C-alpha cells in the first residue's frame, strides 16, 4: 500500500512540475446518481448525434464537457424536436455548471448578500486564478413500513460540497456528509450480513436498529497533455449505458483510485487503478485487509449512431504493495497474469450502444470472468463458464407522448461469476459487489417509466422482476453451514467447493423470486432542492421460509444537493 501511494504521488508531482506550461483549465465531475445523466441520455437520443467530448459508457462526466454538449444542442436546436421541458433541462444544465458559462443568465435575480449570487450555488467566487463553488448538503426523510416493532424509518444527512480550480490548472472536489438513518428491514439485514451500509461502508450503531455513518469523497484533477486527463482521489466509477453495470458499478463504497482518461479522435481510453478493501469481519478498530484492482475501458464512436467498447480488469492481492506490471496502460491483463504465474482474477468484457430514429437507444454489455469454449458449445452447464450479459432499450417521448421516457433492461449472470479460488480476489470491495448488487446466479428484468411534464415535476415508476438462486443454509448462528450454489460471490469457488461441476444454470439452489415496485413523485422547489414522496413494494418468495420476505414502504423527504439516494437491490 505504501509503495502504491508513493508511486501515485510521485507521478502526480512529476507531471505537475514538468507539464505545467501545457495544462489547461480543469473541471470537477458531476456526481454519479444525479439527474444530469438521465437528461443527457434523453437529449443525445433526440439529437441523433453523440455528445461532444462525452462517451456515455464511462461515468462520471466532466462539467466542462457537459457544457460543450449543451452548446452542441444549441447549434442544432432548430433541427430537433426538443420539447419545452427539454429547453428547461438545458437551462438547468447551464445553471448547474455555471463556472463555464460567460453569461448573466446563470446569475441569481435575488442574491442574499454574498450568497446565491448564482442560481445554483450557495457561495461562489471566480477569478483567473481561483474558482470555487460551495453548497450545503441536506436530507431529512421519514417513512414507515410493515415492520413496526423496531421504530420508524428516517434519514438525516448534513454536509457540505465544494468544487473549484486553482490557476485553471488543478481542479478539486470535496464532499463530506454525516448521516443517521434507520432503513427498512431488508436493508438492515443486508447491513448486518455485510458489515457495511450498502453503497457506503463503515457504520456505527445508532438507536438500536439505526446506523450512523460518514460519507467522504474528494479528488484532484488535471490535464497532463492535450488529450490526457488524470484524476486522483476517492470516489466511484461506472462503466456501461444501463441502469445496472456488469463491469464496474457505483454500488459499493467509495475507494481510492488513480484514473487516466485519454481522448483523441473518436476514441476514449480509460484506466482506473484502485485500492480496495478485502473481505473482513466487522469488529473493533483495526486495519482492514487490502487488495487492489486495475481496469481498462476502450470506447470508440464507430459512426454517428454506433458506439462500441472493450473492457478488461483484474483484482489481486500482494503483501504491502501494488503489482506494478498492471500499471502499464496498453496491455492485456490475462497475458500479464499468466506471465506472472499469479492467482489473480482477470476479467474481459464488451459493450455496444446504437441510437436510432431520434427516439431509441439500444445497448448491451457482456462480462466474461472465465470461459471454457468447448464446454460452452457442449452445453454441459460447466461451473467454470462464468459469464454475464445485459441488453436494454431506452425510448424517449414514448408513443408520441412528450416527456415520457421508458427503459427496459435485462441482466443475466451465471453461477460463480465474479468469484475466485480465494476470498481476496473476488470482484468485491468492502464486502459489497463491484458490479451488480445481487452478485451472481440471477436473472433480472427492469422496467422504468419517467414522466416529466414540467421542468420542476416528474413521476418515476420502476419494476424489478428477479429470479435468483441462493445457498441452502443449515443450522443456526454461529454454526451455520451452506451449500455453494454460486450466488454468494464472497464464497471460495473451486472444484471441491462448488455444488456441481456440470449442470449449473441460473436460479439453481434455493430458487427465489423477488419483485420490487417503486413509485416516486418529485418536485424541485429551486435548483437541486427536492421534495420527494414515494411508495415501495418488495416481496421475496421461495420454498425456504428464511428467504421469504415482504414489505410495503412509504417515505417523504426534502433534500438539497444530495448526490444519490440508496439504490435498489
Q: Domain ranges in the chain?
A: 2-560
Alpha-carbon distance 476 to 294, whole Å? 39
Name the grid cell of 457.
Answer: 415535476
Instruction: Provide the 10 A C-beta neighbour count for residue 149.
Output: 6
For 205-254, the pLDDT digits (tens) are 998 899 999 999 999 999 988 899 999 999 999 999 999 999 999 999 99
Task: Check: CB of residue 61 under 8 Å from CB of residue 28.
Answer: no
Helices marked H in 34-112 — which ranges?
35-47, 63-76, 84-96
CB 472 within 8 A of CB 482: yes
Confidence of residue 18 (pLDDT cuts 50, 70, 90): very low
CA distances from residue 541 to 411, 544, 549, 556 in whole angstroms, order as listed = 20, 8, 7, 28
Count other Cβ atoms within 10 Å, centred on residue 68: 15
Query: CB under 8 Å to 113, separation ≥6 — which residues?
Result: none
Q: Mean pLDDT, the chain, as a whole number?
A: 90
pLDDT at 529: 96
DSSP class of residue 536 equals: E
Residue 434 grid coordinates: 463491484
Q: For residues 243 and 563, what is the distance between their CA atoms, to the nearest angstrom?
A: 16
**What are 86's three cell numbers?**
427539454
Tell me the C-alpha to C-alpha distance, in Å, between residue 149 and each of 94, 140, 144, 208: 47, 22, 11, 12
Interval 52-65 mean pLDDT: 96
Q: Report whether 518 contacts 534 (CB < 8 A).
A: yes
Q: What is the pTM for the complete model shown? A: 0.94
Q: Give the start-end residues of each E strand in 167-285.
A: 170-182, 204-206, 210-225, 228-235, 238-239, 255-264, 267-277
pLDDT digits (tens, 9 = 90+) for 270-303: 999 999 999 998 887 788 899 999 999 999 999 9
CA-to-CA separations, 30 to 33, 36, 292, 329, 537, in angstroms, rounded: 9, 8, 25, 25, 30
If we measure between CA atoms, which residue out of 176, 174, 173, 172 comes closest to residue 159?
Answer: 176
Residue 17: band (very low, low, confident or very high) from pLDDT cuts 50, 70, 90 = very low
Mean per-residue pLDDT, 16-42? 78
Domain 2-560: top CATH class? mainly beta
> pLDDT > 90: what percent of the chain?
76
Amino acid at each position: 500500500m505504501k509503495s502504491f501511494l508513493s508511486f501515485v504521488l510521485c507521478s502526480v508531482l512529476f507531471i505537475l512540475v514538468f507539464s505545467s506550461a501545457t495544462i489547461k483549465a480543469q473541471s470537477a465531475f458531476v456526481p454519479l446518481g444525479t439527474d444530469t445523466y438521465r437528461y443527457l441520455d434523453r437529449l443525445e437520443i433526440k439529437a441523433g448525434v453523440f455528445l461532444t467530448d462525452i462517451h456515455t459508457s464511462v461515468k462520471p462526466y466532466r462539467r466542462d464537457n457537459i457544457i460543450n454538449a449543451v452548446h452542441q444542442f444549441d447549434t442544432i436546436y432548430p433541427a430537433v424536436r426538443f420539447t419545452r421541458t427539454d429547453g428547461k433541462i438545458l437551462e438547468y444544465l447551464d445553471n448547474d455548471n455555471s463556472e463555464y458559462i460567460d453569461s448573466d443568465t446563470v446569475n441569481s435575480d435575488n442574491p442574499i448578500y454574498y450568497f446565491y449570487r448564482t442560481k445554483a450555488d450557495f457561495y461562489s467566487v471566480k477569478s483567473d486564478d481561483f474558482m470555487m463553488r460551495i453548497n450545503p448538503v441536506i436530507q431529512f426523510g421519514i417513512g414507515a413500513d410493515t415492520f413496526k416493532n423496531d421504530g420508524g424509518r428516517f434519514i438525516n444527512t448534513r454536509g457540505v460540497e465544494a468544487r473549484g480550480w486553482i490557476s485553471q490548472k488543478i481542479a478539486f472536489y470535496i464532499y463530506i456528509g454525516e448521516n443517521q438513518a434507520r432503513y427498512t428491514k431488508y436493508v438492515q439485514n443486508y447491513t448486518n450480513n455485510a458489515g457495511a451500509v450498502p453503497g457506503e461502508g463503515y457504520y456505527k450503531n445508532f438507536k438500536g436498529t439505526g446506523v450512523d455513518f460518514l460519507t467522504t469523497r474528494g479528488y484532484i484533477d488535471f490535464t497532463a497533455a492535450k488529450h490526457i486527463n488524470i484524476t486522483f482521489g476517492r470516489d466511484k466509477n461506472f462503466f456501461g449505458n444501463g441502469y445496472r453495470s456488469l463491469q464496474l458499478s457505483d454500488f459499493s463504497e467509495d475507494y481510492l483510485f488513480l484514473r487516466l482518461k485519454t481522448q483523441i479522435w473518436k476514441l476514449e481510453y480509460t484506466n482506473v487503478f484502485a485500492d480496495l478493501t478485502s473481505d473482513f469481519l466487522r469488529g473493533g478498530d483495526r486495519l482492514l485487509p487490502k487488495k487492489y484492482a486495475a481496469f481498462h475501458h476502450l470506447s470508440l464512436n464507430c459512426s454517428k449512431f454506433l458506439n462500441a467498447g472493450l473492457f478488461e480488469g483484474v483484482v489481486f492481492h500482494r503483501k504491502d504493495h501494488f503489482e506494478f506490471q498492471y500499471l502499464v496502460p496498453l496491455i492485456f491483463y490475462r497475458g500479464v497474469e499468466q506471465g506472472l504465474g499469479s492467482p489473480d482474477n482477470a476479467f474481459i468484457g464488451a459493450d455496444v450502444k446504437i441510437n436510432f430514429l431520434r427516439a431509441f437507444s439500444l445497448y448491451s454489455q457482456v462480462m466474461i470472468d472465465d470461459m471454457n469454449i468447448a464446454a460452452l458449445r457442449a452445453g454441459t452447464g460447466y461451473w467454470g463458464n462464468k459469464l454475464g450479459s445485459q441488453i436494454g432499450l431506452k425510448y424517449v417521448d414514448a408513443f408520441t407522448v412528450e416527456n415520457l421516457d421508458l427503459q427496459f433492461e435485462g441482466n443475466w449472470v451465471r453461477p460463480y461469476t465474479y468469484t475466485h479460488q480465494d476470498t481476496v480476489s473476488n470482484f468485491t470491495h468492502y464486502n459489497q459487489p463491484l458490479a451488480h448488487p445481487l452478485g451472481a446466479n440471477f436473472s433480472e428484468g427492469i422496467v422504468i417509466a419517467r414522466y416529466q411534464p414540467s421542468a420542476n415535476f416528474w413521476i418515476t415508476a420502476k419494476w424489478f422482476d428477479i429470479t435468483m438462486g441462493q445457498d441452502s443454509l443449515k443450522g443456526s448462528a454461529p454454526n451455520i453451514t451452506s451449500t455453494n450454489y454460486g450466488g454468494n460471490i464472497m464464497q471460495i469457488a473451486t472444484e471441491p467447493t462448488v455444488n456441481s461441476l456440470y449442470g449449473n444454470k441460473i436460479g439453481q439452489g434455493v430458487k427465489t423470486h423477488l419483485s420490487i415496485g417503486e413509485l416516486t413523485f418529485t418536485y424541485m422547489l429551486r435548483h437541486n432542492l427536492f421534495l420527494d414522496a414515494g411508495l415501495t413494494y418488495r416481496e421475496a418468495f421461495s420454498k425456504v421460509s428464511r428467504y421469504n420476505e415482504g414489505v410495503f414502504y412509504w417515505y417523504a423527504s426534502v433534500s438539497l444537493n444530495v448526490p444519490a439516494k440508496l439504490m435498489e437491490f
